[in-house]
Chains A and B, each alone.
Chain A
Amino acid sequence: MSKRKQIGLLLLLATIAVAAISCSVASNKEPFFGKTVPPEQNIFRYVTGDEPESLDPVVSTGQPEARIYMALYDGLVEYHPKTMEPEPALAERWEANNDSSEFKFYLRHNGRWSNGDPINVHDFIYSLRRIVDKKTASRNAYLAYYIKYAQAYNEQKVFVRDPQTNQFLNAKDFDESTPPEPFGGSPLDAGKPEYTSKIDQAEHDTDFHTKLHTPLRLTLPGDEKARTKLLNADPKLKAAVTGKDLVPVQAEDIGVSAIDDYTLRISLVQPAPFFTGLLAHQSFRLVPKNVIEKYGSAWTQPQNIVTCGPFKVKTWRPYDKLVVERDPMYWDAATVKLDEIHFYPMSDNPTIMNLYKVGEIDAVLNHTVPNAWLEVVRTKQDYMDGAEAAINFLQINVTQPPMNDVRVRKAFNYAIDKDAWAKWRKIVKPLTAFTPEGIFQGYPQPKGDKFNPEEGRRLLGEAGYPVVKKADGSYSCPKFPVDQIEYIYNTQESNKAMAEWMQAQWKQNLGITVSLRNMEWKTFLNTRAKLEYKGFARGAWGADYMDPFTFLSLFYTGGESGTGWIDPKYVAMLDEANRMLDPKKRYELLARAEKYLLDAQPMIPIDTAAINWVKKPYVKGMYPNAGSLYPWKYVYIERDPAKWDYGIPSLTAD
């Protein structure tokens, strides 16, 4: 082919491409993205994400599965469809003692399993014990650690008992950092009674109740090696333990008890005002004891499974379709509007959006609209925009120079124009703090350092890396050891865009070029967790429950944050806040801790994530809430176009 013909062919191909694009642009005037014909049957078709790991609610930690579990299982409480606050589910109502360290749940009497069996308090006791049973090996077990002795049971620890007196040793006698007893010992809040029980006197007399209201017992590792090591390091403890009985912590020891068949009491190891909100989490949902004991791990197979939610499993073909149908046994079956929900397991965003456009699915999961499509899709009336209870940030490995110098960390933070980033990314909100902005009502969120390249350059200079202005107006930082830092992220288009954007900011404002390194997901997680990176790593976190603590607790223990930053003072501040009875004061103390964290800068906040999904206008009762979790019983298909959603449904509670 001659040069000329080649050019001709290229031109032809270009014309075809332009024609194809203009076709899609031509459809831009449509109010919605793609077809808006409701499904013929009363069925809702949804993509919740990749193939679910399991239908067992304690297995998966993911949000995609959480949405499936919400269809299949009920808990004590359920998320409110708009506010995400806990609302009554299998518990009709509940009460807390005045420091939120003990809760009483009154169960409804008409709860039933999908096989018709009644639900009572013993089902909950089984389910709560199962989460922290070591044999279950649940990745979510840590969420239940607030329950008294749950962590000790999960970690197979032992109590220490004096054979002579039959008394157990108490934790506070050996460890000064043990928080004051929530309902024993010293008063928690001056002037207030520490614990007023509304429980009858007779209940106090049970063995269990007596046990739970004694001071926190000392627990030691069950593993002999670990125990010996601990005892050798602490002579006082060793002397006290020698000659005593070691009693393994049993399932029966954890702080869940039945007051009667329909009243459940949960005792916590610390005050946790957010605990009822946490109970809506997937792992606290009710699972059937008999079925699990009969079938083992095969209990979730469609032929065996028994559930307790608004829907039950009809058919399940992995990587193809999970069909759930309305469960007539459900206590609130009258509210359930859909006949079936079809969950399509998919993970490729363009593929999902294609299905949505042609009208084969009615809604998609959050974060599905690709960046390049936003320009078009977000102008449509079926685009769901809103802040998510999730943040994006950069983690910093603070264990190695030069990033072990807080001035250097601050300089890198100052050099990022987050407003410009948010504008470029279109849907996210700039963030200077470590909790998402505008999510927690009444939380006095502290403000971190704003974009200030001048200050950043000054700090770098102070740390011994002067930034010089070159003749052409650009900056350079010749002394900075650029080979000692990098930016790692897991391979994904949006992560790459973010990495390059940050890289450009630092180059422009500090004259430092940080090298980028992308990795496969699991490799990335491994590298970050083991601090095998230098400099920066992409980080993101979504709320487990609607409280700032779900974010602030990432730095509660050093290992989980992936930064190597751990500060006892920060931990103490969080503990102090959580012991506070007055929610307003607690928020203030949490905010103070957050400010402390921001000042230490073991991470750089970037943005509050956006929910970024689409739903057909005829899908009603599904709200763009901050957790992207939807109680399915309220969702329905509206066939009258006059009643459709033209725009984003309001999140203001009715």
Chain B
Amino acid sequence: MLRFIIRRLLVTIPTILVVITITWGLIKLAPGNFYSGEKRLPPAIEKSIREKYGLDKPWYQQYGKTMWGIIRHGDFGTSLRFEGQSVNAIIRRSLPVSAAVGILAYLLALIVGITAGSIAALKQNSRWDYASMTLAMLGISVPNFVLGPILVLVFSLSLYWLPPSRWGGFPSRNLILPIITLSAIYMAYIARLARAGMLEVLRSDYIRTARAKGLSEKDVVIKHALRGGLMPVISYTGPALAFLLTGTVVVERIFALPGLGNYFIQASLNRDEPLIIGIVAFIAITLLLMNLLVDVAYAYLDPRVRY
């Protein structure tokens, strides 16, 4: 197991470097510059800016400098758009915001999703089943850029119950709407995954054995069925959590949250090369680690899986 983890971690490093290289190349190919504006700059000023940020150097030198900083010091450099702010500091500052919203949203999604999915599976083809699956279908089909504004319209602008946007610290009432908006689609997926998983497990032999032993229905479901039935949910959790942790562009934008996702989209629009690379690398690392975590959890939950 330990060898497996070490091996996987070692594979992660070249993967990240490849991701960074591709990102770097794509930015270089993108037209426009971080300094371009409505009025074109006089050539002399453009030249000074390019010299100041080392953009006048040949591409291999620029690439080398970027990679060296990352490999040697884990330093992604200074943002081009936000003068004097280091990329590492920006990530450190915005990550907790994204993570707080993301984790809470996923917890909510897990609780509601598993409960709804399990109930639907246990009472298959009942009114409960149809109701929860209809809601799940809605959750999957209504995108969060529709759901968010609807929630704001109802709870903020009409009822004046909750603030419509902005980060109010943690915890605060400002978090309620973004968390619900963000969790809806995950809730729906998890409910469907849990239902399918549970249905399969409930028909399996060991559940029949458990029932035959005379265990109460509660014990059967919670101790035996859930453990097997939630396998699909677990494998879904890795990538889902990675995306949630690293910020969700749309929700952070609708609710004006100072998270990583907001920075990411702005950095791309601003052609802020160091910031884009820093965030992409960070997302890649998180994604790879989460997948590793899922694989480990798999081995733990399912005795048949061994590495």
User: Which residues on A are within 8 Å of B, measured CB to CB?
Assistant: 20, 23-24, 35, 50-51, 53-54, 56, 59, 61, 134-135, 137-139, 141-142, 151, 154-155, 296-301, 317-320, 344, 346, 348, 350-351, 354-355, 357-358, 360, 520-523, 525-527, 529, 539-541, 554, 557, 559-560, 562
Taking a contact as CB atoms under 8 Å apart, the answer to whether A300 and B83 are in contact is yes
Looking at the complex, which one of B39, B51, B253 makes contact with A554 (CB distance below 8 Å)?
B39
Using known A-B contacts A53-B82, A137-B49, determine if residue A320 contacts B37 with beta carbons closer than 8 Å. Answer: no
Taking a contact as CB atoms under 8 Å apart, the answer to whether A354 and B269 are in contact is no
Using known A-B contacts A297-B78, A318-B82, A351-B255, determine if residue A358 contacts B266 with beta carbons closer than 8 Å. Answer: no
Q: Tally chain B residues at the interface, Cβ within 8 Å.
A: 52
Using known A-B contacts A142-B42, A318-B85, A319-B263, determine if residue A358 contacts B164 with beta carbons closer than 8 Å. Answer: yes
Most B CB within 10 A of own CB, among A24, A35, A355:
A355
B152 interface residue (CB < 8 Å to A)? yes
Taking a contact as CB atoms under 8 Å apart, the answer to whether B45 and A139 are in contact is yes
Closest to B90 in A: A318
Q: What residues of chain A lie closer than 8 Å to B158, measured between beta carbons?
A: 20, 23-24
B43 interface residue (CB < 8 Å to A)? yes
B149 interface residue (CB < 8 Å to A)? yes
Count A/B pairs, Cβ under 8 Å.
140
**Distance, CA A601 to CA B52, complexed state (A):** 38
B62 interface residue (CB < 8 Å to A)? no
Using known A-B contacts A318-B82, A351-B164, A540-B38, determine if residue A527 contacts B31 with beta carbons closer than 8 Å. Answer: yes
Taking a contact as CB atoms under 8 Å apart, the answer to whether B266 and A355 are in contact is no
Taking a contact as CB atoms under 8 Å apart, the answer to whether B165 and A560 are in contact is no
Looking at the complex, which one of B52, B253, B256 makes contact with A344 (CB distance below 8 Å)?
B256
Q: What residues of chain B lie closer than 8 Å to A525, measured between beta carbons?
A: 32, 36-38
Using known A-B contacts A20-B153, A319-B258, A541-B38, determine if residue A354 contacts B48 with beta carbons closer than 8 Å. Answer: no
Contact string, B17-38, partner A, CB cutoff 8 A, digits 1/0? 0000000000000111101111
Looking at the complex, which one of B36, B44, B149, B266 makes contact with A154 (CB distance below 8 Å)?
B44
Shortest CB-to-CB span from A392 to chain B, Å, is: 11
**Distance, CA A139 to CA B164, complexed state (A):** 36
Looking at the complex, which one of A134, A297, A301, A557 makes contact with B42 (CB distance below 8 Å)?
A557
Q: What residues of chain A lie closer than 8 Å to B253, measured between beta carbons?
A: 348, 351
Q: What residues of chain A lie closer than 8 Å to B83, measured between beta carbons?
A: 53-54, 56, 59, 297, 300
**Distance, CA A160 to CA B106, complexed state (A):** 70
Q: What residues of chain B lie closer than 8 Å to A301, measured between beta carbons?
A: 84
Q: What residues of chain A lie closer than 8 Å to B164, measured between beta carbons?
A: 351, 354-355, 357-358, 360
Q: What residues of chain A lie closer than 8 Å to B90, measured between beta carbons?
A: 318
Using known A-B contacts A20-B153, A319-B262, A348-B254, determine if residue A300 contacts B84 with beta carbons closer than 8 Å. Answer: yes
Shortest CB-to-CB span from B253 to chain A, Å, is: 6
Taking a contact as CB atoms under 8 Å apart, the answer to whether A358 and B31 are in contact is no
Taking a contact as CB atoms under 8 Å apart, the answer to whether A154 and B166 are in contact is no
| Nearest 3 interchain pairs by C-beta | A522-B32, A319-B258, A297-B84
Contact string, B160-186, partner A, CB cutoff 8 A, digits 1/0? 100111110000000000000000000
Taking a contact as CB atoms under 8 Å apart, the answer to whether A350 and B149 are in contact is yes
Shortest CB-to-CB span from A315 to chain B, Å, is: 12
Q: What residues of chain B lie closer than 8 Å to A539, measured between beta carbons?
A: 38
Taking a contact as CB atoms under 8 Å apart, the answer to whether A137 and B269 are in contact is no
Closest to A145 in B: B42
Using known A-B contacts A51-B82, A142-B45, A523-B32, determine if residue A320 contacts B258 with beta carbons closer than 8 Å. Answer: yes
